[in-house]
Chains A and B, each alone.
Chain A
Amino acid sequence: MGESISDKGQCDTLPALLAYNVKNFGNQPAYREKEYGIWQSWTWAEAGAEIRNLSLGLLSIGVKTGDYIAIIGRNRPHLYWAMLAAQEVRAIPVPVYQDSVADEIAYVLEHCEARFVFAENQEQVDKVLDIKDKLPNLEAILFLDPRGMRKYDRAHLHDYREIQLEGQKAPAKLVKERDKRLQEQSGKDSCAMLYTSGTTGRPKGVVLSNDNIIKTSQASCEFDGLKSTDSVLAYLPMAWVGDFIFSIGQATWTGFCVCCPENTETMQHDLKEIGPSYFFAPPRYFEGVLTDVMIRMEDAGFVQRHLFNSFMGHAQKVGGAILDGQAVSPMDKLKYQLGKIFVYGPLLNTLGMSNIRVGYTAGEAIGPEIFNFYRSLGINLKQLYGQTEASVFITQQPDGQVRSDTVGVPSPGVELRIDDKGEVFYRSPGVFVEYFKNPESTKDTKDKEGWVATGDAGFIENESGHLRIIDRAKDVGKMKDGRLFAPKYVENKLKFFPTILEAVLFGAGMDRCTAFINIDLQAVGNWAERHNIAYSSYQELAGHPEVYGMVKDHIDEVNRSLADDEMLSGCQVHRFLILHKELDADDGELTRTRKVRRRVIEEKFKELIDALYGGKGEIFTKTEVTYEDGSKGAISATLRIEDAVIAKAGASQGEAA
């Protein structure tokens, strides 16, 4: 074993690691995908052969060293192979968000000058064909699912499997060429280019080298003891750096199995069937599942509800301690074991979380109640803090030191620094090479010594050495009277209520804060049902006086908790309104990873913000919306604006509402 590890250490590219896995884990499952209702699987040996055929096929259609190859589609083994096959012939894979509208795809494909595109199906092929006039470099599109494309002009359109067949019978010349390119490549070569979601402005292409990916994967796998027998469900967008690290980087490094759901909507069901041991989900997911469980428990019978409540109460008390290996009384331990039989075990099984050994969440703050709920059930859920530019890992929480309000200690090999303005900087082997075709931004973000600005404000806790993030550095501002304005901090507090899906706080440079609220249709809908509130649309529900009343109670509660925080007491919400539409990435209000785009919202809803600061009790507004197919429409509504109660800070005099 010792020999093979040193062997693996010499693999400095992903194709080399793939070859290592084929040799050492040839018979172990590498990829699984549910298709036609059955889990299909490919061993490393089979996957290796598929990838080899594809890479030879790519040579046969003229892929050159240094070509950029875009990949558009949902998580499927074949598309992961496409990335590895591209790397085998020294092309650089560029995964693209599959739900992007044609414009966004056009920008990326144009910017990276993609010569080839892998498109999952007709929908994606159509998107690319729509914009092909803007793409002079585009040579061909390869599609995976031939359905509906019988009549398409095949001149620049190839069937994935036909290209593989082409590769299978490739002449010796091409086989030699492939071997040559495999030989030539090194750790310094680009491994992939990933476009950042772009909270501000156009997305930037982050170039990551093989060294970046492999060293980061190695360090993070060792940190959590990931093994070749682990498995992960690949369901997050392939264009997101996290999926690239988990499903390509770490999977290729350790040789664990990557499982792909049948389709996007069946994810929850497939998760249950696969029961992965390594799991990542954004806080939004954990929130959603918890809301779902709670709604279902409210509808359950008396006995079930009683069992659930009493055992969950107990788990809240001792579950976290048991997970962290702290001592608890034998009686408590016994009751916890009983709970495992009656409640926790079956619940985890239903959620598909029975086997999770290592679970991570990141991207946004997670509510303490939500975080503790999962930990008390015995799931080793931890937080990490990362960025595309860092190949994900900047900090992560070690087992046994898990808290909801920090993001953990620096990952192995990462150095941290906080500058005098409070912004977090890091330096690590995972630090990106450059922004593609954008030396200025590269220079702004990464200095000569390799320190990268995160753009986040935070501080390192003295006692624990854990990093705490407050907000985006540029969003942290000052109010008119100089008090600190940290919108995300307040928004997160609001979003911890299951009924509030999204919140946007305003107040920079103003004398008081105001907020937009987006309700969660599922949670509020259920609440409405139980309270006999009739509604016919999202808009009507959002404007309902009782919904306003409930949201106001939540805001008042947040105000009270803010009042106790000396630094942030100025951020209490004075006035608010509930938006008549859900903030949507298609309308540009959220990024594809569902982060709020503050500037866009400020511009688009300017009249609403003015109304919040004016004295009016309601305002009429008309908003343009974009449908999934890119066509536009408009919705109009009269929104009510309400005042919230401003809490007084503890004993100090506080301000009047």
Chain B
Amino acid sequence: MSMQSAQSAQGYVTADGRKIGGPVMEMENITLRFGGVTAIQDISFDILEGEIRAIIGPNGAGKSSMLNVINGFYHPQEGRILYHGEERKPLKPYQIAYQGIARTFQNIALFKGMTTLDNIMTGRLTHMKTNLLSQALWWGRAEKEEVENREIVEKIIDFLEIQTIRKTPVGRLPYGLQKRVELGRALAAEPSLLLLDEPMAGMNVEEKEDMSRFILDVNDEFGTTIALIEHDMGVVMDIADRVVVMDYGKKIGDGTPAEVRSNQAVIDAYLGVSHD
């Protein structure tokens, strides 16, 4: 832990030369309960600016709950959350959307009947200032605003290489592409923190490789801070800068992939321990 806090204070430089800055989000002694069930128990960790932070753990470890705590959807019963250095109060849904944290979902949550383009455009919503009426009439500032936002969306479409499906309703797309569209929508919000809930779940090797590349490229090109939950250990160890390991709602490890890999508690959680 001591090394961790040292890193948190002034950031660090990764092996491949990226500069990681100060903390974007700090979780201090978080406990989250649903009735009698304790989903998260006294967990502390931080997410630093510009890094790829992974949260891993076996099924039911509390990873998705943790993600929901990070984006403000769940409010923990105990503990403090510092976002950009300030303590975050419980948020209303619309405030969650405006705080600059974008996410994707484990079970894709896109508008199935809308095209890829329109879906990604919805990600720009928090950046649009004109009112409903002028948008509906396509008049005055609304027109200019839509053109500006469309340009940003087109850059994202180009970035994610989904030009082919620009005008295709997302319901008709294969799973891997839908995941990519969802990432596109999250990117469109230009988040300061991007949360990815199992971005590789259900993908084949090739799709996983593509997605890994996109995640690394997003981090590299836009400097976006990314926190992701993932099941596939191989992927996590390849792309994450630091990893938090959870098991039964508790944190059992935290550090670089190499450190986590050699951590006995983590090995036990994943491979099981003999009880004789």
Binding site for B on A (CB under 8 A): 35-38, 147-148, 150-151, 262-263, 265-266, 269, 627-629
Q: Which residues of B contact A265 (CB under 8 A)?
A: 163-164
* Chain B neighbourhood of A627, CB < 8 A: 206
Question: Is the beta-carbon distance between B161 and A263 smaller than 8 angstroms?
Answer: yes
Q: Are B220 and A148 in contact (CB-based, < 8 A)?
A: yes
Of all chain B residues, which has the CB nearest A34?
B163
A-B contact pairs, 15 of them (CB 8 A): A35-B158, A36-B158, A147-B217, A147-B221, A148-B213, A148-B216, A148-B217, A148-B220, A150-B221, A151-B16, A263-B163, A265-B163, A266-B164, A628-B206, A629-B209
Check A36–B164 contact: CB distance below 8 A. Answer: no
Contact of A37 with B166 in the complex, beta carbons under 8 Å: yes
Among B38-46, B131-139, B149-157, the one that faces the other chain is B149-157
- The CA of A265 and the CA of B161, in the complex, are separated in Å by 10
Contact A36 to B220, CB < 8 A, known contacts A151-B16, A151-B17: no
Residues in A with CB closer than 8 Å to B161 are 263
- Residue ID in chain A nearest B159 by CB atoms: A147
Contact at B163–A151, with CB atoms within 8 Å? no
| CB nearest to A123 among chain B residues | B213
Q: Which residues of B contact A263 (CB under 8 A)?
A: 161, 163-164
Q: Is the CB of A36 within 8 A of B17?
A: no
Once A147-B217, A150-B220, A151-B220 are accepted as A-B contacts, the answer to whether A262 and B163 lie under 8 Å apart by CB is yes
B154 in contact with A36 (CB, 8 Å): yes
Q: How large is the interface on B (under 10, 10 to 19, 20 to 34, 35 or more residues)?
A: 20 to 34
B16 touches A36 (CB 8 A): no
Flag if B220 contacts A37 (CB, 8 Å). no
User: How near does chain B come to A632, taking the closest CB pair, in angstroms?
Assistant: 14
Interface residues of B, dominant DSSP:
helix
Measured CA separation A269–B150 after assembly (Å): 20
**Contact residues in A for B220 (Cβ distance below 8 Å):** 148, 150-151
- Judge whether A266 and B163 touch: CB under 8 Å: yes
Question: What distance in Å separates the Cβ of A482 from its nearest Cβ neighbour in chain B?
Answer: 51
- Give Cα A262–Cα B154 distance, bound, in whole angstroms: 12
| Shortest beta-carbon distance from B38 to chain A in Å | 42
Which chain A residue shows the least CB distance to B117? A37
A609 to B247, CA, bound (A): 57
Q: How far is the CB of A60 from chain B (nearest CB, A)?
A: 28
Q: Which of B1-37 contact A (CB under 8 A)?
A: 16-18
Is the pair A37, B154 in contact by a Cβ cutoff of 8 Å? yes
Q: When A151-B16, A263-B163, A266-B163 are in contact, do A36 and B217 touch as well, CB less than 8 Å? A: no
Across the interface, which residues of A come within 8 angstroms of B158, CB to CB?
Answer: 35-36
Q: Write out the residue numbers on chain A whose beta carbons fall within 8 Å of the beta carbon of B221.
A: 147-148, 150
B274 CB to closest chain A CB, in angstroms? Answer: 36
Q: Is the CB of A36 within 8 A of B155?
A: yes
CB-CB under 8 A from A38, the residues of chain B are 154
Q: In the assembled complex, which residues on chain A have CB atoms less than 8 Å from the CB atom of B163?
A: 37, 262-263, 265-266
Complex-state Cα separation, A37 to B217, whole angstroms: 21
Closest beta carbon of chain B to A541's beta carbon, Å: 18
Nearest residue (CB) in A for B156 is A36
Nearest B residue (CB) for A149:
B220
State whether A36 touches B213 (Cβ < 8 A): no
Complex interface: chain A residues within 8 A of B216 (CB): 148
- Please report the C-alpha to C-alpha distance between residue A377 and residue B220 in the assembled complex, in whole angstroms: 51
Q: How far, in angstroms, from A627 to B209 measured CA to CA in the complex?
A: 13
**Within the assembled complex, what's the spacing in Å between the Cα atoms of A223 and B182?**
52
* Chain A residue nearest in CB terms to B164: A265
When distances are taken between beta carbons in the complex, the residues of chain A under 8 Å from B16 are 151
Known: A148-B217, A263-B164, A266-B164. 18 other contacts (CB 8 A): A36-B151, A36-B154, A37-B150, A37-B157, A37-B163, A147-B159, A148-B216, A148-B220, A148-B221, A150-B220, A150-B221, A151-B16, A151-B220, A263-B161, A263-B163, A265-B163, A265-B164, A628-B206
Q: Tell me how far the C-beta of A191 lies from the nearest C-beta in chain B, rounded to whole angstroms.
A: 33
Shortest distance in angstroms between A184's beta carbon and chain B's nearest beta carbon?
Answer: 41
